[in-house]
Amino acid sequence: MFALLEASARVYLFGLAGLVPSRINSVHGLHQTGFVRASPEPRLGWELEPNIDSYFKLVRFRTNSRGLRDREYTLAKPEESFRVAVVGASFALPAGVAIEDAFHSLLEERLTGEPAGLRYEFINFAVGMYGPEQVLAALELRALDYDPDLILFTTTLLSEPAMLVAPGSQGGRKTEAPLSLLVFQRTYPVLQSFLLRLLRYRLGAVSDASAPVGIFEQAFIDLVARVRPDTRPLDLARDRAVLPAPPALPVLDRLARLQGQRGVPIVVVRLEFDTHREVSGDRPSRSDLPTRCRELSLLCHDTRDAFEGTDAHGFWVHPLDPHPNARAHERFARSIAEFLRGHGLLEPRRAEAQ
């Protein structure tokens, strides 16, 4: 009876894919996939492995030869092309959405098809679990090498406070990377009970895409680690996950400085779909990010305007995971395209003038 209920819960959550062990084994956090390695750049902490071809949150997950979840792009920008660098974390990666359904892929496909004589390239540098400091580092250390004509710096309400508040002086000391306490080790969700996870959620537990590892799953992880030593946890403290102390200026101020130095327009995109979700407590208010962007001559766009009057749960990847699904990314793409067109940022000359 329990097996029947468990199978029913998996089908309810994931459709028929819930009965396929290889697909169920992809329903966990990015740090539990084995797709992450320590980065040689201390400011990044970790990065995606190159040439991955597997599943993550039920959908196909591939990375190119440079570790980007995207197709291959030449480092040198082709003639008659317009490049947009997309940086961010899991919402932009995206988590649980096929790459062809991601907002940046939709923008690339649709804009290139327009009669403008240009080929648009939206290159995805997003990595799950990155905080604003790491997103900025990815922009400076990775994305700028591709000579972009425009930069989309995506953020969420969760990470927004770190965009606006200076990290403060650390006296030259080093500080731990965000999320460095997570265990970077592959897990096996097929050994979890999604029935119990669903019941906990229905009883009011906070939704979580990566459940704690259970006794049976941990025993299997230990067994695999003994047979294959390369599957042991990635020790970020050992493998350069200690980041240098950041400058005293907030990320947003450094973005404005970078825009002035490089002459490339930067749009800060609040990539959200829940119109009722707000920052709270001692965090900045909803208006703080746009206000500060205006003061710094940065453009800011909030995608939530495209979701007014909707139920946020209808845009979840699945009932236990609040990452935006393909329907949400469709609205992201339309909203961002309208904003970019309205500000003349999709035409090279006007983009440079901006």
Beta bridge partners of 333: none
Residues 194 and 248 in one domain: no
Percent of the chain with pLDDT over 70: 85
Beta bridge partners of 234: 184
Domain assignment of residue 198, yes or no: yes
> Does 349 or 346 have the greater pLDDT score?
346
Find out whether 143 and 87 touch, Cβ atoms under 8 Å: yes
Provide the whole-model pTM: 0.90
- If one counts the domains in the chain, the total is 2
Structural domain including 207 reads 2-27+186-231
Domain assignment of residue 82, yes or no: yes
pLDDT category at 246 given cuts 50, 70, 90 is low
Give tens-digit pLDDT for 147-177: 999 999 999 998 998 898 876 544 433 444 4
Residues 9 and 108 in one domain: no
Domain assignment of residue 237, yes or no: no
pLDDT score recorded for residue 184? 86
Query: What average pLDDT score do residues 345-350 get?
Result: 74
Give tens-digit pLDDT for 2-57: 999 999 999 999 999 999 999 999 999 999 999 999 898 988 989 999 999 999 99
pLDDT at 251 exceeding the cut of 90 = yes
pLDDT at 281 exceeding the cut of 60 = no
